[in-house]
Structure 1
Amino acid sequence: MAHRHDAVPTLNKLRLPLALTRLGLLAEQVLRCFWPLMSIIMVVLAALMLGLQDHASVELVWGGGIVAVIGALVALLMGARGLHWPTRMDALTRLDASLPGRPIQALIDSQAIGHDDPDSAALWRAHQARMAQRAATARAARPDLRIARRDPFALRYVAMLALAVALLFGSLWRVGSVAEMTPGTAQAAAGPSWEGWIEPPRHTGLPTLYLSDITGAALETPEGSRVILRFYGEVGALTLAETVSGRIGEVPSASEPSQEFTIARSGELRIDGPGGRTWDVAVIPDAAPRVSVAAPPEAEAAGQMSLPFTAEDDYGIAAGTARISLDLAAVDRRYGLSGEPEPREAIFLPLPMPISGDRAQFTEKLIEDFSQHPWANLPVTFELQVEDDAGQKGDAAPFSATLPGRRFFDPMAAAVIEMRRDLLWSRENAPRIAQVLRAVSYRPDDVFRSETAYLRLRFLLRRLERMDEIGLGDPQVEELAQAMWDLAILLEEGDLGDALERLRRAQERLSEAMKNGASDQEIAELMQELRRATDDYMRQLSRQAQNGENGADQPQQGQNSMQMSQNDLQRMMDRIQELMEQGRMAEAQQALEELQQLMENMRVTQGQGGGQSQGQQSMDDLAETLRNQQGLSDQAFRDLQEQFNPDAQAGENQNNQGRNGGQGRGQSHEGQNPGQQQGQNQGQGQGQNEGQQQGQGQQPGGENGQGGDQAGTLADRQRALRQELNRQQGNLPGAGTPEGDAARDALDRAGRAMDGAEDSLRRDDLAEAIDQQSEAMEALREGLRALGEAMAQEQQQGRPGQGQAEGDQRAQNRDPLGRDTGTNGSIGSEENLLQGEDVYRRARELLDEIRRRSGEGERPDVELDYLKRLLERF
């Protein structure tokens, strides 16, 4: 096609986009050709602004300057050679390329053939009109400023970074100092000058002050700041006069070129001579840290002490200690405490400090268990001391209180603990202790409910008397004290009667709290105590059933018996707590009375018509292992949260109301030690309320039966859980089948993940441990599913012809959630829900659906309130 020049007026509207595009092309050419020159200029300017020339020799500065000038000239010549000045046609081409269909080229072109044809000419005019409309929408084309191919090592970015650092930390005034290095200015450079800094103490976190930049005469600085001055030029032309250091003795000359001293008091700082300055320095004193006891120490049910304290400092607390000493003047000096106590050193404990955040002012709790200490439940004095980074110490006023420890309610256990205290008070009390213990145990049938406890007391008495005859040393006293403590625990925890008494006491305290309008926190704590007492009572019932000790006072099974599972009891207690939280105290009181009647009429029997098969037992064991692993993962996650949010107590955050969160709500994951499941599984039976009830077996992991709450560190509990999984793997059914082999492979992966989690926990790498625990839980779920399939396969092969009939019958007895409704009057189902779909994923899906619906404002208020209550609960 031929070009025509009468299309130029049509392009007049594109003058502005065309000019901007041409400027963009020029910017591309300048950047591509002169980026080495610009980089050299930025580097040199950055070096001058940072004052590098002041720290180098004149020869080095001149050499560097010559190299920089030569490099700049070479870069300038090479850039000038490669520079191509963009023309108007270049701009038109770039602008046309940015438009679809190249309309500008179409406007410039003319019709080459068919111009004599009217139809062809009309079509050409219509085409140009359409192209003119499209060209009218043109915008300036963006320049291509990418030069990575020309600068593969990104040297331009290095130069830009150096210039940015110089702009932040340097000064343009320092560039002029290079002129003083020229031969003509040697005399001027010899003139007097000075520079100085004030460096506040490091622990204050304040920046260094450059004295030349301070405009006013008033100056405030923290106590202990260091002043650094440098005098240049003729010695004596500049002198220093100051009254802030308080220096005495040998003081350097006022004209010394280098001056350093510490500000100790307010005063005047003056530089006399050419360009001298004067400052009135006001010292900000560094106050001593302060600490105080915020509230009297409290004790939990297990005896753990919690002492809240408050500390503050103007710059932050570095560390602190607590000293606990016996308040001998406040001790009731009677009976075993009448003699002089054996000397014992005071207790020193480090005060807990916030892991993150500001330490200028905070409140923390000193948590420690002194239940077995000789001063437990005796008057003591708490003396707290904190220290800041400057070494200043602050002491709290001595706080007198009773050292909290575990309390014993059983009279015989309390007597043993009192004698233990007397023994630790003074070993001279040994004869009296033996007499008292023999006196209180004179009629063992009226005092002891367990023959084991009586025999242990008799053995302890004989050993005490024998050791007293040959002389009691420190090892013997410690051994006897530990034996007496174990005996008291056995007497306190006791047997079924004691467990029932603790259960009644917990129910009565909760009932009184509801009647008296107690706070939500008190009710939550009492509800947690009721859960623990119920679990303890269930263990004692199961232990009695396992040993064949069904007493005559327990009702026998009748035709109107009703089966209940452990989950049914848990749901009843959850319902009671939900009613109390909603303020429906009357209904909660009625439900509590029904629970009390159920527990008192309960009976546990073993193996009555329908014991579990080996496969079902393995399923139950693995399900319990999965729950315990989930509990360990939850605890590790809460510990990880506390590292970044120390104010959130584990299990008491309102956003952590899971299985053991929310002020004691929910079911605790840590309620069982994994190493105790073997005894539980062997003693598992059925319990009755005038019938039968599912119970828990004996847990030989400890005499107190508290399970995992006393299981030690997370790493130790993870190891115990791994050992329990090894035991369960040896009892898996379905060997040789594809499903059974898949279950074993999944459990092997779970075991390896548990080993990795234990290693991470011992390294305090909580994040890695949580990941390993998640892998272990996922592998356990896969093992459960594969084991369920193996059991179903074995059942179909062992009883052919019955699967269809049983399936139809069970399908008719399903509840709306697809679970069996139970038979023979049972409440609920014993079906293991972990065999089918991943219930944890399904639970997450349901929770997401509830959240989605609660965010839809067009739903009825009644439904929105119901969804809100569901979210608050779960």
Structure 2
Amino acid sequence: MALTRHSDVTSQPGAVGPRTPEGIWTTKKGPVARALHLTRWGMVWEQAARAFWPLATVLALVFAAFALGIVAAVPVPVLPWLAGAVLLGLVWTAIRAGMRFRRTRMADAVDRLDRTLPGRPLAALSDRAAIGGEGALWQAHLAQMQARAARARAVRPDAGLARRDPFALRLAGLVALVMALVFGGAAQMGQGIEALAATVSRPLFADPVPTGPSWEGWAEPPAYTRRLTIYLNALAEGQVLELPKGSAVTFRLYGEGASVTQDIGPATAADPQAPGFRAEQSGAIEVAGRLFDVTVLPDNAPAIRAGAAPVRRADGRMVQDFEAEDDHGVASGQAVIALDLDAIDRRFGLAIEPEPRQPVELALPMPKGNRQDIKGQLTEDLSRHPWANLPVSVSLRALDGIEQVGEAAPMRTVLPGRRFFDPMAAALIEMRRDLLWSRDNAGRSAEILRAVTWAPEGFVEQPLYLQLRGAVTLLEGDPLTDKARDDLAEALWQAAIQLEDGGLSDALERMRQAQQKLSEAIRNGASPDEIQRLMDELKEATDAYTDMLAQQGQQDPSERFTKGQQGQQITGDQIQQMMDEIQRLMNEGRMAEAQELLEQFNRMMENLQVRQSQGGEGQEGSSGNQPMNRLADTLREQQRLSDEAFRDMQDQFGQGQMGQPSPNAQGLADRQRQLREELGQQQGLLPGQGSEGGDQARRQLDEAGRAMEDAERALREGDTGGALQRQADAIESMREGMRALGDMLNRQSQGQQGQQGQQQGQEGQQSGGGDRAGEGQAYDQRPALDPLGRQRDGNGNVIAGGDPLAEGADPARRARDLLDEIRRRSGQPDRPQDERDYLGRLLDRF
């Protein structure tokens, strides 16, 4: 059977279809058509890559040169020639690429794809029979070719760039492009474009011809002023130039004929083309006919003020408040503590002249950011300093950016230090002070040590006795060197601590570490096993600490703490209850509440006197708590009045008399007025006037007074719901005021320990003893709860009442039950609208 191919003639009747490749494969869908189109696009890519790779390489190199700053670095005379060469190269490569690019025909794609198939089925399918017609044999032949064509796959394109680019120039361009995208920037590109544009705008090899005198000027204030540099050319004509004293004014002159004249300060640069000077006084600057009126702002010296006399915190650190201000900000501050010899009682070991000792210089803490107005607090532990508990003068000074000094008047006070009440410990501390005062006291100190170590049985432990006898030998030997004196002073300090605390300080430190680790574990979401292990460790450390306190109960332990506890006591049973509550909250997954209760427990163990007792009853608050007691009574009365008003509103609901004054409304309004007047009287007696905490407490109580007045007016008008809302606001404001007052009293009482004598502490202990329950209590023995059964905050760091935990049912459970009941009632449509509105306000508030 003879075959003939006619790519331009369709088949006769009986043929299977068109006989051109385009007609066969472009009008059908299937794997062959998809392979054919992909092959054709691959061939298009091959043609483009072969034709345009030189142009793409040159463009990548040009972009990299601009982005990496290479163009800006080229010398000006060379840049025009280089730019012209690059432009010619771009034009040549573009023309060459256009001439080499050829359009890809479908027949070419069919031919490439057909060569990859056995028997060239695509060409066979475009044939027709020349002799014998297209009978069954011919149809079988076509079916066989179609089956082979169905296995066609797109031909992978191959531009052959490696053969056409033997030096891999295209890869160099690609690497340059990537480097430009990674390390380049718009600024470098802008500089390159600017440099290229400058060569175009002026003749080649021609020096720039100035059209007239030109200049630029800058005024840079000192760095410590934190002011921005001023560009003088941008100032409006006639605008006064205000500069801080010491500002650096610089100019840059271009061309000939320009000069600068000024009378504001000395010159700092001798270059006539770049003059500079420092602004010291007001005057004028003239440059190239432009006149600037300059006003130099004086830099005032800083001012610093000391707060109250230094006080001692519960941990023995000295606390000194201060305020400082400066027009441009305080750079640094310093507290200088010097010995006040004139105020010292020069007896016993202080009778001889002291050895020279440099004043104590402490850096004042400075905040970050704005320092124009500073209120700070210096905290430093000077309990081991030789001048501890001796009269000193405290001088504060502040420096600004140009080292101007502002000083506060020296303040005469006693340097806060630790007080020792064990007779033996106090004697050792006195000897330590005498030795640090002057080594000439060595003989006197040796005699005292011999006296206190006489007959040590039952009086001094054997290890301590041996240490003290060794100190006697050292004191009676050769003159003490500085190192020997300091080592002996440290040994005496440690011995006194051991006698005074009997290991109490170590137990307290272990308890603090256990508290800190447990708190960190709760915050960081540790595993339950890890939290339980740390909780057991805290219980063990707390038990050891409280046992040691109980063993020292006869040594007047009330003197071991500052007045921050305000006479309050907590029993060992109450401590155990509090730790059990922390454990319960953690077991229930209420970690936030457990964290809050743990922090309260930490503050309590730091600032409260802890004793084990049989009855488990706490003692009353001290007289310093009387304002807080009266406020607590007023708060309870306000809560009772609010409850009665709520019951009265329920009665109105039942009788259908909402919006009308009830028979009890006038009586409730009168009681509200009495409470408001009583609160006003208590405000006038509050301590801490002028302090931050005292002022905050007064502001909160003012808010409570206004809310009480609004509640009274609402009661008289029959608006019981509005009265309840304002009463709730009054209760909340009173709580906030009591919290602020408690914190303020706690800080004040902690600070006064350094000035309280031992006798005053003993009198406070005696007056705190005895059974006076129910008289002047800071709070009821039962914890004060809010309307939802939640415990209200106590006084600062003091746990309120005899039991720090809620008595009876779980307060949280009771709160949830009450909230559920309020939600149930608020959702009952048969209840009056006013009642449901009030219940809605309760839900919003609680």
Q: TM-score range by the shorter chain?
A: 0.3 to 0.5
TM-score normalised per structure 2: 0.43
Larger Rg: 2
